[in-house]
Each structure stands twice: as structure tokens, then as C-alpha cells.
Amino acid sequence: MPHVICEPCIGVKDRSCQEVCPVECIYDAGEQLYIHPDECIDCGACVPACPVNAIYPEEDVPEQWRIYIEKNRTWAQTLPNVHVLEE
């Protein structure tokens, strides 16, 4: 999994990361956004766009948020790949 969205996204869902993603691999998982691991091209454009510093390359996810690696994988398998756009 190239990048993972972690706990700081919960309740924020700013969507700046979605706007800059060239392959549109960032989806809404309810309380936060997630990155679909099979669609991400590992470009890193989402990382500086996130205003709450919630996105990390998998190998750099802080220890306290490592559970989000598995959560992102689970969301990718269970949620539809549909963007929720703000009106």
C-alpha cells in the first residue's frame, strides 16, 4: 500500500487530497477518507495537500496509527469506489 490516511483525518475530511490526486484513488469511508491501495500510483501529491498531516507512506506511518494500514485495506475491500463530492 503506497499511502495511508490516518487518525487526524477523522471528522475533518478536508478533501484537498482528493482534489490533487491524479488517479482519483481517495474515497469517503464515513468518518474519514481512505486511499485505495490498488489504485494509488504512489505519486505523493496528497501528502502536502492534507491540512492535518494525516497521510503517510505506509513505511512511515507512526506507530500509534499503524492500525490504519489495515483499516485502509479493509475499506478498499468493503466500500464502493465512489467519490462523495461536496455540493
pLDDT at residue 78 in the model: 80
| 34-60 exposure pattern, b = at least 16 Cβ within 10 A, e = fewer | bbbbeebeeeeebbebbebebbbebee
pTM: 0.85
* pLDDT tens profile 12-60: 989 999 999 999 999 988 889 999 988 899 999 999 999 999 999 999 9
Q: List phi, psi (to 5°) of 9.
A: -75, -25
Q: Considering only the top CATH level, what class is 3-78? A: alpha beta
Does position 82 have pLDDT exceeding 60, yes or no? Answer: no
Q: Which residue has the cell 468493503?
A: 78
